Amino acid sequence: MRRQLTLAAAGALFSIAAWAQAPTEAGRPPAILPVESEAPARLVVYPALPEPLARGVIILHHRTENFRIIPIFGKEAAEVSPRVGHLHVTVDDGPATWAHTSGDPIIVVGLKPGPHKLQVELADPTHMILGSQIVDVTIPERKASSANGPAEQHAHAH
């Protein structure tokens, strides 16, 4: 009797497993599309925010289409659907590029006043570039603070 219950339970489990693997309803898209079937990835980088830029801080907001920015690398990750990857950021055609691995804004500080160029590239997990955008920014000259601030000027006026 116990053997019959065990066989019956195994048969029920097999039936449930087979049902769970049944094809999806007709016309319903599969849960995972091959990467080649996806719409192309797209990168949009917005102009630097003016208020921080006036203080010498570059803050670039960005968004992607058909692509998620996450810290994942390697050949196997390039096959994940929907597409995943990261951004490459290069300042002024410099020798250094860094990987930006989140949807947070790109923040750059410490540049001298004047014109600068930031190249932002959309990269898959193997660092293959899927798109690129250049953002030109000009960091204004910062006015030197006066040795005679408003409090000192007021004190000397009396």
130 Cβ neighbours under 8 A, 6+ residues apart: 40, 41, 43, 67, 83, 85, 122, 123, 124
Query: Taking residues 4-15, what's their average pLDDT?
Result: 44
- Reported as a single tens digit per residue, the pLDDT across 59-71 is 999 999 999 999 9
Domains of the chain: residue spans and CATH: 35-139 (2.60.40)
pTM: 0.68
Question: Which range is least confidently modeled, 9-18, 48-57, 78-87, 105-114?
Answer: 9-18
Q: Which residue has the tokens 């004190």?
A: 155
- Reported as a single tens digit per residue, the pLDDT across 75-105 is 988 888 788 999 999 999 999 999 999 999 9
**Predicted local distance difference test score (pLDDT) of residue 39:** 85
Q: How confident is the model at residue 34 (pLDDT cuts 50, 70, 90)?
A: low
Query: Taking residues 127-149, what's their average pLDDT?
Result: 82
